[in-house]
Structure formats: structure tokens, C-alpha cells
Chains A and B, each alone.
Chain A
């Protein structure tokens, strides 16, 4: 059973470009979460999705950031017009049911904005 797959592992974007981060959950998992990790700050919740639904996006900046988990295909975290402050490690996690069940993380996408 493959784990949570994230790609790309490393992404470099110039200021003003768009970044697309992909996440394929573990087989049988229908709940997906995105977290951001900055040095010295720990993991911060961004968004919680189920298939075709956003359950909670309270941790996501209201501008430039969006997330989706379509009926077919991976979950996508999209950052438009990136700025240097968006540089961070972005982790995706999946769980078989809600947040009170074990969530398994991918290896992350490290975004660098130059």
C-alpha cells in the first residue's frame, strides 16, 4: 500500500508565478489535509478536504491560495502570484475517516520563491 504521494518534491518559482502542488492520498483514504511548515514555527493547518468538498479552509490565506480535491485525481494546492514569504515546506496528509483517526503524511513539497 503506497503512502501519501506528493509532487514535486522541490519547486522553484519566481515572484509572481503560480505554484501547483499535488497530493495523492493513501488508497482508501478520502480525507486530505494540507499543512505548511516554516522554520521555527512548526506545522500549521491550512485546509481540510473530502472528495469534491472543502470542509475547513480557515487556515488558508484568503487571497492567492486555493485547494481542491476532485472526484478523480489528486488534491491540488494552488498558490497564485507567489511571493518570497510563500517559501516553505508544504505537507499533505490523508486519513481514512475524520481528524480523530491516524493521519499519514507525505514527504512534502519544498517551495522556494526567488
Chain B
């Protein structure tokens, strides 16, 4: 069964305190792994797509990496505006849907 598990569920950081969010997945034949950011009351905002183990993508203070079993979203020197829920998703084995994890809610205080 296709499955995505994110950890931790919630993370509190001080401004400037770097950390990583984890996304472990179970799917046969990975077709793509996606990271999204979601603010309260808003729709998910696309961040990254990763397709193969070893691939890395960066955007401002965020860097996403991928292995054969998990992905990490590294946040370097976060700012309060990085506070949001970060969602990880994989393409289902059938190739017709994104399977989402429950997300990690990040709070960054100044």
C-alpha cells in the first residue's frame, strides 16, 4: 500500500536555528516526490519535485533531498515567515494521484 509518513508532527524553532523535516515513503517505483507549504486557510503552495535518489533542490532557506526510502526538507536559519505546515506527497503506484503525509507544522519564533 502506498504510504507517506512525516515526522515530527510539530516543530518549534528559534529564528536562525536550522533543522530538518523527514518524509518516509512506501511506494513501488517512485515516479515523483513533492514538497508543499500550506498556510492556515490557504491551499498548498508547490515547493519542490524530486524524481531520483541523490537529487537535491534548493530555494532560499529550503533544501530538499531524496534517498530510496525518504526525503528531507532542510531549513537553514529559519525566519518567522517560514512558519507553516509542510506537506510531502508521492505519486501513487497507479500513477493517478498524489498520496500526502499528514504534514509537519513548523513554528519559528523571533
Contacts and interface: CB of A to CB of B under 8 A. Distances in A.
Nearest to A56: B96
B32 A105 contact: no
Most B CB within 10 A of own CB, among A55, A91, A105, A106: A105
Contacts of B103: 42
A99 B2 CA distance: 15
Contacts of B46: 102-105
A44 to B, nearest CB: 8
Given A99-B32, A99-B95, A41 B102 contact: yes
Interface of A: 4, 6, 33, 35, 40-45, 48, 55-56, 58-59, 91, 98-108
Interface of B: 31-32, 34, 36, 42-46, 49, 51, 87, 89, 91-92, 94-103
17 contacts: A33-B97, A33-B98, A35-B98, A40-B102, A42-B100, A42-B102, A42-B103, A43-B98, A45-B92, A91-B44, A100-B32, A100-B95, A101-B49, A104-B46, A105-B46, A106-B43, A108-B43
